[in-house]
Structure 1
Amino acid sequence: MGTRSIALVLLAAVLLQTLLPASAAEGLVRVALKKQPVDQNSRVAERLSAEERQRLLGGANSLGSSGEGDIIALKNYMNAQYFGEIGVGTPAQKFTVIFDTGSSNLWVPSAKCYFSIACYFHSRYKSGQSSTYKKNGKPADIHYGTGSIAGFFSEDSVTLGDLVVKDQEFIEATKEPGLTFMVAKFDGILGLGFQEISVGNAVPVWYNMIKQGLISDPVFSFWFNRHAGEEGGELVFGGMDPNHYKGNHTYVPVTQKGYWQFNMGDVLVDGKSTGFCAGGCAAIADSGTSLLAGPTAIITEINEKIGAAGVVSQECKTVVSQYGQQILDLLLAETQPAKVCSQVGLCTFDGIHGVSAGIRSVVDDEAGKSNGGLRSDPMCNACEMAVVWMQNQLAQNKTKELILNYINQLCDRLPSPMGESSVDCASLKSMPDIAFTIGGKKFSLKPEQYILKVGEGPAAQCISGFTAMDIPPPRGPLWILGDVFMGAYHTVFDYDKLRVGFAESA
């Protein structure tokens, strides 16, 4: 090839580079995310849906099922703040969706949704107006902690950014009961989890993007902009934008496909170990959860440190007053912590951990009736939390008297099941940092990162970004790191190497 030919080829390459959008030139596909503030409507809907989550949790903030759909059943989208736009059909019909790494299906409201008021408040998919629509008709339903949807499967093209995914299976929602989806700021949900948790075993949008060769690298990343008054952030398919993070990512392997689940180490409050996850806990990175959910024992300690309003637990106080000294003596005698509550007669030991011994109060009996017969033992639960708290205090060489007084204070700070806890906005400066150990590195959250503000000026209210949820072994203890955490740390989901990465957000 002559010099002139080489020059022409180089010139053509330069021209092509300038004509292509920046994202295409980088091999990245970008979807802009819009941020909505937490408002009073979502908080009202949240309170109304708490009863349903209480039923699912068995009345004691614990989840007994170990099925793959259990966490989806508890998902709360009401305080979700980040949304993006997609198109379904040809020409594309626009929908605002939550991009949710904690579920795997795509669903949007259907024009055939006649009897759910929620559908009339949102964009609805009209199959008759799409030239690429393919009938499927298989029935589908998904149950969430804050509502459920039902409908049927269809196939059509889905547009994300500059990409068009062909023949994508999705759910046309024909029923969206309750208030939840009526006041929601989004039309539907696009799941970015694994096919293992996909309802109907539908192939997720993300899988088809890879299969159809639409992205060069099977990786996507989230950047949630937490700066007030600025754009909501960006979801990037095919890699990551170095402008979105500082330093290098810390990667951890996916330990169980379904959710983007990985192992997490100790949780520290103001630099001090809580001890609860020192031996390891499971965690999932969940872009569809606004808050940060964790075991009640640790959330209670965090509540106490940040001054969050709690629910006084009489069972907890009874355990401290009647069994506190005995529990302390057993721990000092180096009894295996998992066996302590069975030795004092409040739980039975199943070889791994304490389980309910069948001791129930009148209050618990009534709760069992209202929860369709689902019961767990609050005395056993309170005892196991007390063991965790006492271990932590003993590690700090506190006296027996100080330990029992501290545990009694924690009994006043128990969070309401899956509910929000209010805090004093004026106290932010005195609140501690909360740190999570991932891949051997500490990832800290400052008060301004884990406290959500509702409203402005004198009428502003502040709520804790932490909420309680107990999932027992073998699935739990489990942490759900939602937008509160992912806003502080740019998150990479690497499908090729089956790993999740975190780096400080820029």
Structure 2
Amino acid sequence: HHQDLLLIYGRRITFATSLVPLMKVKSMRENLQENGMLKEYLEKYPYSQAKVLSEDKDKKVTYESLRNYLDLAYVGLISIGTPPQKFRVAFDTGSADLWVPSIYCNSQSCGSHAFFNPQMSSTLQLPPGLIRRAQIRYSYGDVLGILALDTLKIGDLEAFNQIFVLSTWEGHSFGSFAPFDGILGLAYPDSAQTVATPVFDNLWEQSLISENLFAFYLTSRETGGKRGSMLMLGGVDHSYYSGELRWVPVTRQRFWQVALNRITVNGTIIACHDGCQAILNTGSSVVNGPYEDVLNIQNIIHAQHSFNDMYMDCNTTTNLPDVVFVIGGINYPVPARSYVRKDAYGTCVSTFESLAVNPFGSEMWILGDVFLRLYFSVYDRANNRVGLAPAI
């Protein structure tokens, strides 16, 4: 069987997306300054229609454009059930479960989102035996619900008997200012908290895609790109990046984890001195790292702590150095224009952060959308490797 995913890009809510589980949904919800912008943004930037392009009849790549929400989350459309019920989901390489709100959800967070009504789907099934309850934990909140199976559609792909969670309670981080209804995880099956077959695995097993891989192209709302954000399922479109893909092995087949050689500024090692580990996470809008290392970077780039953010002088950012992540012996520089974010009030903040509780481990680096907007990324399950190349 094969599985195929159609990804739609938006921008991660300090996701993420960005909400991600790894979507840094928390920032979007907590920054009231941006609450009033969401409705206007949704009206101004409607979803693009999905595109299906074939290089030849034997190899098809499925594409769907993603919507970028304030550089905080990348969101796309899926549907579940018969007839289909539509949901906006954040595509998250930092988790492996799929959940959407249900009509049984009684928490305030569910109120402004689309609900799945099991009674309206003729193809819904429940796992055999007693009702199976589930809890999915993210760094910014939990989701409680029950397991169900139904038909899932992503673009022109249709997978049967997909297990997912119907939420009955959601933490406040998933509230009304989250630009997504649910989360679709794209990590390895071992990271699935519901012990269910993830969407991508199900699509591959049902022979819906020709290659066992997917790829992300994420654009910035500031600089844009030659085209909109995109998730590619079952193949790679080489026109979205320059040069050649550089491949690195996945060091632990749970999340998309790779070895990080070191982190440098102007040729000097400033973090990860003896090598460390990093996770590529489309569900996070920022770059997270160990507290002392991140503090050192903040000092180097002259970021000053205030409230919950590290503020910077917008007038000096053009003189700041690149922060270079060395992966597989290749330099991947992140320039100031990428790691400095201007908020709704025109204030500049650093996008380097340290989580009080890092779900991946206290020494783990999380390379979120700040990094992934610069580098086209390929997630190769067939060979357990990640490919990176400069995005167009």
Structure 2 length-normalised TM: 0.81
How many residues are treated as equivalent by the alignment? 334
1:438 aligns with 2:327: yes
User: 1:32 and 2:27 equivalent?
Assistant: no
Q: 1:121 to 1:24 in 2, by over 3 A?
A: farther
What's the counterpart of residue 263 of structure 1? 259
Contact 1:470 1:477 in 2 (8 A): no
Could you report, residue by residue, the CA deviation over 1:238-261 in whole angstroms, capped at 9, with x for unpaired residues? 121112111111111111111111
Q: What displacement does 1:300 show?
A: 1.5
Q: Distance in 2 between matches of 1:239 and 1:142?
A: 30
- Equivalent residue number for residue 193 of structure 1: 187
How far the C-alpha of 1:177 sits from its partner, in A, is 3.2
Aligned to 1:454: 343
Q: SS of 1:164's equivalent?
A: strand
**Alpha-carbon contact 1:23-1:30 (below 8 Å) kept:** no
Specify the code of the residue in structure 1 equivalent to 2:375. Y
Is 2:78 the counterpart of 1:83? no
1:227 Cα deviation from its structure 2 partner: 5.0
1:210-251 Cα offsets, whole Å, 9 max, x none, are 100000100100000125385650000012111211111111
Secondary structure of the corresponding residue to residue 194 of structure 2: helix
Aligned to 1:306: 301
Can you list the C-alpha shifts for 1:123-144, whole angstroms capped at 9, x where unaligned?
0011111121112331001122
The code of the aligned residue for 2:304 comes to: A
Q: Which has the higher helix share?
A: 1
Match of 1:295 in 2: 290
- Out of 139-148 and 492-501, give the one that drifted further: 139-148
* Whole-angstrom distance in 2 between the partners of 1:116 and 1:476: 31
Residue 423 of structure 1, CA deviation: 1.2
**Are the aligned partners of 2:67 and 2:74 in contact in 1 as well (CA < 8 Å)?**
yes
Query: For the structure 1 residues 260 and 132, does the alpha-carbon distance in structure 2 shift closer, same or farther, using more than 3 Å as the test?
Result: same
C-alpha RMSD of matched pairs (Å) = 2.1
| 1:159-178 equivalences in 2 (<5 Å) | 159-178=153-172
Correspondence 1:124 to 2:115: yes
Distance 2:219 2:350 in 1: 19
Structure-1 separation of matches of 2:280 and 2:328: 14
Q: What is the match of residue 14 of structure 2?
A: none
| Worse overlay, 300-309 or 177-186 | 177-186
**Cα separation, 1, equivalents of 2:221 and 2:137:** 33
The answer for the alignment partner of 1:101 in structure 2 is 93
TM-score (norm 1): 0.63
Shift of 1:500: 0.8
Judged with a 3 Å threshold, the aligned counterparts in structure 2 of structure 1 residues 252 and 112 are, in CA distance, closer, same or farther, namely same
Gap regions ≥5 residues in structure 2: 1-50
Contact map agreement 2:53 2:62 (CA 8 A) in 1: no
SS at match of 1:196: helix
Matched, 1:244 2:240: yes
Q: Alpha-carbon deviation of 1:278? A: 3.1
Structure-2 change in CA distance of 1:23 and 1:452 (3 Å): farther
Report the equivalent of 2:27.
Answer: none
Q: How many angstroms apart in 2 are the aligned matches of 1:84 and 1:243?
A: 21
2:196 equivalent among 198, 202, 207 = 202
Q: In 2, distance between residues paired with 1:438 and 1:174?
A: 41
**8 Å CA contact 2:218, 2:373 repeated in 1:** yes
Deviation digits for residues 82-118 of structure 1, max 9, x if unmatched?
11111111222111111001100000000111x2122
**Deviations, residues 291-323 of structure 1 (Å, cap 9, x unaligned):** 000122221121112211137xxxxxxxxxxxx
Whether 2:365 is the aligned partner of 1:466: answer no
Per-residue deviation, 1:21:
4.4
Which amino acid counterpart does residue 442 of structure 1 have in structure 2? N
- Report deviation, 1:477: 2.3
Q: Check conservation: 1:271, 1:433, Cα contact below 8 A.
A: no
Following the alignment from structure 1 to structure 2, what is the Cα–Cα distance between the partners of residues 463 and 423?
5
Q: How does 1:92-491 map to 2 (within 5 A)?
A: 92-113=84-105, 115-136=106-127, 137-228=131-222, 230=224, 232-274=228-270, 276-310=271-305, 419-455=308-344, 459-469=345-355, 477-491=363-377
3-state SS in 1 of match to 2:70 = coil
Distance 1:282 1:430 in 2: 29
From the superposition, tell whether residues 476 and 143 of structure 1 become closer, same or farther in structure 2 (CA, over 3 Å).
closer
Does the aligned pair in 1 maintain the 2:97–2:164 contact within 8 Å?
A: yes
Relative to 1, partners in 2 of residues 1:502 and 1:138: Cα closer, same or farther, differing over 3 Å? same
Q: Is contact 1:299–1:468 with CA below 8 Å preserved after alignment?
A: yes
Q: Which among 374, 379, 384 is matched to residue 493 of structure 1?
A: 379
Distance verdict in 2 for CA 1:476–1:280, change over 3 Å = farther
> Counterparts of 2:384 and 2:259 in 1: how far apart (Å)?
13
In structure 1, the gaps of 5 or more residues are 1-19, 39-79, 312-415
Sequence identity percentage: 34
CA contact (8 A) 1:266 1:280 kept: yes
SS at match of 1:310: strand
Structure 1: distance between partners of 2:388 and 2:55 = 25
CA distance in 1, matches of 2:356, 2:174: 23
Distance 1:92 1:211, change over 3 A: same
Which residue identity is paired with 2:277? A
Matched residue of 1:480: which SS?
strand
The verdict on how the C-alpha distance between 1:278 and 1:110 changes in structure 2, with shifts beyond 3 A counting, is: same
Q: CA 1:248 to 1:138, structure 2 compared with 1: closer, same or farther past 3 Å?
A: same
Residues 1:492 and 1:211: Cα distance change in structure 2 (over 3 Å): same
Equivalent position SS for 2:122? coil
Runs of 4+ in 1 over 6 A off after TM superposition: none
Q: Supply the AA of the counterpart residue of 1:29.
A: T
Richer in strand (by share): 2
Query: Would you say the 8 A contact 1:151–1:174 is kept in 2?
Result: yes
Relative to structure 1, is the Cα distance of residues 253 and 143 closer, same or farther in structure 2, using a 3 angstrom cutoff? same
The answer to which of 221-230 and 206-215 deviates more is 221-230
The residue type equivalent to 1:429 in the other structure is T
